[in-house]
Amino acid sequence: MTSRNPFNFGDLALDESFTDREVELSELKSDVLNGQNVVVFAPRRYGKSSLVWRATQELVSDDDVLVAQVDLMRTATKEQFAAKLAQAVYEQIATPLFRARERASQVFRGLRILPVMTVDASDGTLGFSFTSGHTDTDVDATIEKLFELPAELSAERGRRAAVVFDEFQEILDIDPHLPGLMRASFQAQPDVAHVYLGSKRSMMERLFNDENEPFWRSAKQMELGVIAPTAFAEFIRERFQSTARGVEDSVVDAVLAVTQGHPYGTQELCYALWEETPDGETAADTSFRAALDRVLRSENAHFTRIWDDSPTSQKLLLQALAREPLQKITSGDFRRRHGLPTSSSVQRAVDALLDDELIAKDAPGAYRIAEPFLAEWVLRFGS
């Protein structure tokens, strides 16, 4: 029987694919149990959703917490937002409390606008929607009541509750007034934890760190970094051994030297490394080089688009950082060595690349390419 690849990237890292984060996992679970609001900050593909998913699943099974999860991706209107809220409240809070579907659906009787409920003929699940054409006042009143339902329902049954908002920055595009409405409702719910995460860090930071925004100082901030090399090294070796393959220590070191402990990037490279290692054999340097080539081919379209969309100043800076990371990039010596423009032009390029999360700042004035494999791609193909 052919073994299944034990590494996973692109989807949520579940079960055995979940790596380390034990400190963050314990902290997040404790915060939710205490009714503490939390915003999770991290660059793209650092495993925010995987961490929150793991925490909520353990809370539901071990601590009997009711957790409603609302993904705001592809939510264009307030009516669609209300429908997602209603779906989450019904499926993840009301149904576990009342068991009977008919009783669970009765929780919406107090809404200003009642949702249209449809039954999926294939599996019997309920779908929710709100028709357009209502006044903003009625829609806002309906959403406000939906915000209140998790606290009301859980309190009635003596249960703790949490609401998770994924891709939370999209709330601004749905309606810029919604954050104020949410904040007013949530601050009166000390026993319900609200967890926020999003993929656009600059927008998330503005929402929670700008004193002019309603969510300023409203949530504890959790910062996710890369995973420690020692923890990732142990995980890589264990995953190979679990499928009757081995991996040389030098190869594990080479993987982590390329990915720098980036969660998504490490899983992606290890996935390719496992595929390049025959069943029953040990991954050696030749397998590693073939795996890196495979990943670069897979990422080529993505990196080509980044490169083509970047102005010359950003391309020059990426080339410089690929050759010499963690240098004082605005210094005269560094700029002369790499043919960079004036320090003001370099700083503008830095700001743009930071905003796109392509580079990261590790020390004052010192930067590195943060996007996994982009530095290697630039060295090979960026010209």
Domain ranges of the chain: 21-223, 229-381
DSSP annotation string for 278-291? -TTSEE-HHHHHHH
When the pLDDT of each residue in the chain is averaged and rounded to a whole number, the result is 90
The pLDDT assigned to 119 comes to 83
The pLDDT assigned to 101 comes to 61
DSSP annotation string for 307-375? HHHS-HHHHHHHHHHHHS-SEETTSHHHHHHTT---HHHHHHHHHHHHHTTSEEEEETTEEEE-STTHH
Instruction: Tell if the pTM clears 0.85, that is, is over it.
Output: no
Q: Kindly tell me the sign of the dihedral angle through the C-alpha atoms of 108, 109, 112, 116.
A: positive
Q: What's the fold here for domain 229-381?
A: Arc Repressor Mutant, subunit A (1.10.10)
196 C-beta neighbours (distance < 10 Å), count? 26
CA distance 355 to 230: 30
Burial state string for 156-194 with b = 16 or more CB within 10 A and e = fewer than 16: eeebbbbbbbbbbbbbbebbeebbebbeebbeebeebbb
The CATH number of the domain covering residues in 21-223 = 3.40.50.300
The pLDDT assigned to 287 comes to 97
Alpha-helical (H) ranges within the chain are: 22-33, 48-62, 78-89, 95-98, 101-105, 136-156, 171-174, 178-186, 201-209, 229-241, 249-259, 263-275, 285-309, 312-323, 332-337, 343-355, 374-381
The pLDDT assigned to 1 comes to 56
The pLDDT assigned to 2 comes to 62
pLDDT digits (tens, 9 = 90+) for 209-242: 999 999 999 999 998 878 888 889 999 999 999 9
Give per-10-residue mean pLDDT for the chain (383 aa): 80 53 90 95 81 90 90 94 95 81 76 90 84 94 96 89 95 95 94 92 90 94 86 93 95 94 92 95 97 96 95 95 88 92 92 90 85 93 75
Shared fold status for 21-223 and 229-381: no
Check: CB of residue 130 under 8 Å from CB of residue 142: yes
The pLDDT assigned to 357 comes to 87
Q: Name the CA radius of gyration of the chain, rounded.
A: 24
